[in-house]
């Protein structure tokens, strides 16, 4: 792993490198990266314009045009990908008892505990810095609009965000498991 990047960023880069191999043109790599980052960033609207604003707020018009061109002129070589590639990043757990158990666990947390879990994920994702924990908690409480368990499990990299959040706050997963906070 490259020093200075999180595990989730390293996994994302590994996934991107596999996709880059099927793009056909090197100049399509940056628009693909921007498009996937836009999909992963928070925001209810996953259409091109709001994604462009989140990915490159200083150059929204140019990024919008680049993303639109990338999506509308996508000539993919589907034969170069495998089922494993798709499943490694986007897995379907519609019938997974573990997912229901996790949802139940989150649902059973009180509102402060749920807000803390959301804030931890946001810190791990980089939306807030560790020193902004109080602001992250306040925002999590104030912006709670849908079920917390659905919101959190809708984050494709949730386990990585939680682990990274713990790390950024000076804790390890082992500390959390042992209750050594």
Q: How many C-beta atoms lie closer than 10 Å to residue 73's C-beta?
A: 9
CA distances to 44, 49, 58, 64, 121 from 35, rounded to whole Å, are 15, 11, 16, 10, 21
Q: What is the pLDDT of residue 86?
A: 45
Domain end (from 89, 123, 143):
89
How many domains in the chain? 2
Q: Which residue has the tokens 């997974």?
A: 96
Q: What is the pLDDT of residue 90?
A: 45
Distance in angstroms (rounded) separating the CA atoms of residues 77 and 87: 17
Domain end (from 89, 115, 136):
89
Pair 118, 156 in one domain: yes
Q: What share of the chain is helix, strand, coil (3-state, %, to 5)?
A: 70, 0, 30
Query: 121-177: per-residue pLDDT in tens?
Result: 989 888 888 999 999 999 888 887 668 888 888 777 888 888 888 989 998 878 777
Contacts with 33 (C-beta within 8 Å, 6 or more apart), sequence order:
16
Average pLDDT along the chain? 78
Counting residues of the chain whose pLDDT is more than 70, the rounded percentage is 78
In a domain, 106, yes or no: yes
Per-residue confidence at 120, pLDDT binned at 50, 70, 90?
very high
In a domain, 162, yes or no: yes
Pair 103, 165 in one domain: yes
Please check whether residue 99 is in contact with residue 146, taking contact to mean a CB–CB distance below 8 angstroms. no
Domain hosting 141: range is 97-173
Nearest to 54 by CA among 36, 41, 67: 41
Pair 103, 154 in one domain: yes
Pair 67, 109 in one domain: no
In a domain, 119, yes or no: yes
Contacts with 14 (C-beta within 8 Å, 6 or more apart), sequence order:
none
Pair 101, 60 in one domain: no
Using only the alpha carbons of the chain, give its radius of gyration.
Answer: 18
Q: Which two tokens stand for residue 41?
A: 């960033």
Domain end (from 67, 89, 111):
89
- The model carries a pTM of 0.50
In a domain, 179, yes or no: no
- Measured N-to-C along each axis, helices 111-125 and 133-142 cross at an angle, to the nearest 10 degrees, of 120
Please check whether residue 135 is in contact with residue 128, taking contact to mean a CB–CB distance below 8 angstroms. yes
pLDDT(74) > 70: no
In a domain, 102, yes or no: yes
Nearest to 42 by CA among 100, 121, 102: 121
pLDDT(94) > 70: no
pLDDT(87) > 50: no
Nearest to 125 by CA among 170, 155, 91: 155
């Amino acid at each position: 792993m490259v020093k200075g990047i999180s595990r989730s960023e390293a996994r994302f880069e590994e996934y991107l490198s596999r996709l880059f191999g099927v793009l056909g043109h090197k100049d399509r790599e940056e628009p693909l990266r921007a498009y996937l980052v836009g999909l992963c960033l928070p925001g209810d609207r996953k259409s091109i314009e709001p994604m462009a604003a989140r990915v490159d707020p200083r150059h929204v018009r140019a990024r919008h045009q680049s993303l639109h061109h990338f999506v509308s002129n996508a000539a993919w070589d589907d034969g170069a990908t495998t089922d494993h590639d798709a499943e490694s990043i986007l897995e379907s757990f519609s019938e997974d008892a573990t997912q229901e158990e996790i949802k139940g666990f989150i649902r059973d947390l009180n509102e402060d505990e749920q807000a803390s879990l959301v804030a931890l994920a946001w810190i791990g994702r980089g939306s807030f810095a560790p020193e902004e924990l109080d602001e992250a908690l306040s925002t999590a409480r104030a912006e709670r609009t849908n079920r917390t368990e659905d919101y959190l499990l809708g984050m494709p990299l949730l386990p990585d965000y939680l682990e990274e959040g713990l790390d950024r706050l000076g804790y390890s997963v082992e500390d959390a498991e042992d209750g050594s906070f």
